[in-house]
Amino acid sequence: MSDRLAAAEERADPLRKELEEVGRVFARLPETPEPLTAGELAARVFAGKGRRRAAAIPAPPVDPAPGTIAAARADLAAGRRSPVDLVEEALERARAGRHLGAFLRLREEEALAEARRLAGSPEAAGQGRGGRPLLGIPLSVKDIVDVAGMTTTSGSKFPHEAARSAPAWGRLSEAGAILLGKNNLQEFAFGVSGDNPTFGRTRNPHDPARIPGGSSSGSAVAVATGMGYGSVGTDTGGSIRIPASLNGVFGLKPSYGAVSRAGVTPLSWSLDHVGPIARSAGDTALLFEVLSGWSPGPAGPRAAGPKPLAGVRVGVPLDFFYSDLIREARQAADGIVAALVRLGAERVEVRVPEVELSGVCRNVLAFVEAAVVHRERLAARPDDISEDVRRLLDVGGVLSAADLLSALQGRRLVADAFARLFEAVDVLVAPSTPAGAPEAGEPLATAEDIRPGLIRLVGPFNFTGLPALQVPAGFDAPGMPLGAQLVGGPGEDFAVLRLAAWLEANGAIPMRQPSPGPPD
């Protein structure tokens, strides 16, 4: 046995021991759960395709904040600004923030040329009156998303030239968006710190000594600093929501399968999600609508009085999600719940003990599927894969089919538990991260290692495929952002987005836009 294989077997042993405990849970059940495949998970989403709960939520008042897509669209429609103005401003911020490492490539000349072609065109003049909803809006994409004619690095030493655009970018482009550039990311999207051994570390603009989170690190930093109005990220174990939380912006992990993953370098097919990062709930909803092709449908009648969310049931999980947090993280999530209650919602305490099984089962799925995705790269050029990633891929390579089936059985148990939960509540509120961003190389303030600590609260919703929206919710003692997740039932993406819009309209979303420039 080679040293590498022996090391992989040794690292796999703790996972196997945890799976033995999962098996003991199965043995206590009246019937052994059947494996829940990704296809069945997607079928649950599209069977509901939500909108039932969203349609019951009244439309919140709209007052676009500066720096949002909504405000930019209003300026374009009124002739106060042009697409050139928007692109030039975004590029100026991106140039000022080069030290943050948010971009692997800026399309400076190309983006300006596209903006100039749009400026003064009849189509641009119709902005906001039935025109393409993102006309002239500069956006970025994580460099794991194919864009025709550009190189996709996937944050690795294995680049490829994209012959066609992924539907995720194609839809945004058809809606009129201008591509500002491609964002830095963790290698193969396999990590949460924002450190890339090939292209360099992405830095948190609120404190460049601290991590930005990952793997969609560059996307979140670009949005937080105004280097464009939004970005497309991917989320396999929290890779949209973790950096969105640590940088103080919105990030949606949609329902599984709601946004096409075609043309996006995979990591784990049954856990991967593609979704938007933005600076407001309304912007996030617009980007999701374009990315998915879904429509929110009509909102409920506009509410009168101080309790517009009467009838909405907010689940607060007393176990798992509210354990091992710093005080400020708990306070941030509690503040979101309290704001919803002030708006008329009912607070419902819930428990989901089955979620304790999700961590090990999700890890087994992620490691096994990633090992298959990267099998040829690992065999042909192992030295071109960083040691941290290679170790995880090696572990996936030694796990068995029986291990994989146990993980899929665990998925059935956990997903069914959440399905029952969402018969009793309309939304679940939980912290996004247990603590704010630590300094690079340091553990979290909860003393947890970075990877398991940051994945712990967000990973269950990749495992179950439920829509989870990260919203800015507060700050820790050093002033770093903290977030909370609004989680909905299968396909209920617009329901959580509408609730976030109510929070935003009522001043319950604390945000600070950091400067992209270097510290004084």
- Using alpha carbons, select from 474, 503, 463 the residue that is nearest to residue 486: 503
Three-class secondary structure of residue 427 per DSSP: strand
Sequence-distant (6+) residues with CB within 8 A of 272 are: 234, 235, 236, 261, 264, 266
Q: For residue 46, give both structure tokens.
A: 């599209």
Q: 338-361 in b/e burial notation, b at 16+ Cβ within 10 A?
A: ebbeebbbeeeebebebbebbbbb
C-alpha distances out from residue 52 to 48, 101, 180, 311, 485, Å: 8, 42, 36, 14, 20
- Which of 82, 140, 142, 292 is catalytic? The answer is 142
CA 324 to chain CA centroid, nearest Å: 22
CB-based contact 107:179 (threshold 8 Å)? yes
Three-class secondary structure of residue 209 per DSSP: coil
Distance CA 499, CA 491 (A): 15
- Which of 156, 219, 231, 239 is catalytic? The answer is 239
Sequence-distant (6+) residues with CB within 8 A of 484 are: 332, 333, 335, 336, 429, 430, 431, 432, 470, 471, 473
Burial tier of 398 (Cβ tally within 10 Å: 0-12, 13-18, 19+): buried
Please work out, in degrees rounded to the nearest 5, the angle formed at the alpha carbon of residue 475 by the alpha carbons of 473 and 479: 155
Give the number of C-alpha atoms closer than 13 A to the C-alpha of residue 53, restricted to the C-beta side. 28
In the residue annotation, 268 being an active-site residue is answered as no
In the residue annotation, 142 being an active-site residue is answered as yes
Distance CA 257, CA 413 (A): 20
CA 195 to chain CA centroid, nearest Å: 18
- Which of 154, 165, 215, 255 is catalytic? The answer is 215
In the residue annotation, 216 being an active-site residue is answered as no
Distance CA 510, CA 472 (A): 6
Active site residues: 142, 215, 239
